[in-house]
Structure 1
Amino acid sequence: MKKILFFVIVISLSLNGYGQEEFKTKFKPIPAKNSKIKEVIPPKVISPKITPPEVVKAPVSDFVNPEDIFLNSNLYKKEANTKGIFYRRNQFLGSFKTKSFTSTIRYRDAAFVDGDKIRVYLNDKIIEPEIALDGEFKGFKIALVDGINKIDFEALNEGFASPNTAEFQVYDDKGIAISASQWNVGTGYKATIILMKE
């Protein structure tokens, strides 16, 4: 048994002597390459030149009396004097002068998209019979006649949440905003804006 043990020790020592050099304790690290750290300069951000549309500061009220508009009970539903409910009435959105030949009207649901629907009139004639309001702006273009152009937005319903709410924008033919506002009306009531073409 001693001979076998001696034989194993001798063989292991001889194998260790012929082992690979990488197992030696002398370790030479590879030196790091001397590289200059370049400062990274971010590219210049060039913002596009976008000028916001000019909005008319105040509506012109010398050519239309808002109270006279809603007197015709054939065209406008009478105000319901219900305590605490402010939207059961017609809403005047202002009157504006323009020299534009056409006007673009854009609209969307101003609050929660709840299925609000509207009908649009131009000078008491239906130009859009039924429009469902959603979160994205939709629109149409109208040709303005000389003089008064009365645009009515009639609430066909109030959706899931009362009242019928919408945000609208009116632009002239050069893309300049004439008006931007919101309406809050009940079913059957109208929000009215007047454009006076000079």
Structure 2
Amino acid sequence: MKKIFLITAITCFSAQIYAQELNNKFKAIPPKDAEKKEVVPPKETAPKENPPAPVEKPAPLQVNPDDLFKDTNRYKQEANVEGIFYRRNQFLGNFNTTAVTSTIMYRDAAFVDGDKVKVYLNDKVIEPEVFLTGDFKSVKINLEKGINKIDIEALNEGFASPNTAEFKVYDDKGNVISSSEWNVGTGYKAVIVLVKE
């Protein structure tokens, strides 16, 4: 009898637990502060900021033309007067290269009128007198590590002022590093700087 009573009790107890799980009339107990609604803060937009400009490494081997032309022992001072603009030195730029050698080619940029130039590399004469013609003439230079300053001095102005010339600078692979023209008076220089890295 005890066994029947135990089986009946377990069955009733199990049925009661099963019935509680299937009861769909379950209601959650609301919290005490049910009337207070949760406040969602408004979305904030971040202020628009321009990103900082990248910091560029200063180029330590660049030549400043203003400082360069202050040297009155090497460069004639500007002497332009009204209507004459070519009595001055011309800076044609700083250029970086990895080349071992460089070739400088030059010719008369206008009509051939007897213009002559002298070519310097780091203040040493490498071409004492070159007559500019309609065809390119060239000089090959070995570049030193660091600054290689090329000065081209006008020895005269030919029959028609000023001394006009076109030049091209090539690296040892035949790539053009720079190409430009100058118009300078007698004694003035056009300067280009090649920085060998």
Superposed pair shares fold, TM > 0.5: yes
Partner in structure 1 of residue 130 of structure 2: 131
Partner in structure 1 of residue 114 of structure 2: 115
Distance in 2 (alpha carbons) for counterparts of 1:81 and 1:63:
27
Partner in structure 2 of residue 186 of structure 1: 185
Q: Which amino acid aligns with 1:181?
A: S
Matched, 1:90 2:92: no
Q: How does 1:20-169 map to 2 (within 5 A)?
A: 63-169=62-168
Partner in structure 2 of residue 195 of structure 1: 194
Count of aligned residue pairs for this structure pair: 139
Q: CA RMSD in A?
A: 1.3
Q: Which has the larger radius of gyration?
A: 2
Q: Could you say what secondary structure the match of 2:75 adopts?
A: coil
User: Identity of aligned pairs, percent?
Assistant: 71
Q: List runs of 5+ in structure 2 lacking aligned partners.
A: 1-58
Q: 1:83 Cα shift?
A: 1.4
Q: 1:62 Cα shift?
A: 7.4
Distance in 2 (alpha carbons) for counterparts of 1:122 and 1:102:
13
Distance in 2 (alpha carbons) for counterparts of 1:156 and 1:61:
32
Query: Is the contact between residue 61 and residue 146 of structure 2 (CA under 8 Å) also seen in structure 1?
Result: no
Distance in 2 (alpha carbons) for counterparts of 1:81 and 1:164:
15
Q: Which amino acid aligns with 1:113?
A: V
Q: List runs of 5+ in structure 1 lacking aligned partners.
A: 1-59
Describe the superposition over 1:67-123 as per-residue Cα deviations: whole angstroms up to 9, x where unpaired.
111111000000003111110000001110000000000000000100000000000
Distance in 1 (alpha carbons) for counterparts of 2:186 and 2:80:
15
Distance in 1 (alpha carbons) for counterparts of 2:83 and 2:132:
26
Q: 1:134 Cα shift?
A: 0.2
Q: Could you say what secondary structure the match of 1:71 adopts?
A: coil
Query: Is the contact between residue 61 and residue 95 of structure 1 (CA under 8 Å) also seen in structure 2?
Result: no
Distance in 2 (alpha carbons) for counterparts of 1:65 and 1:126:
22
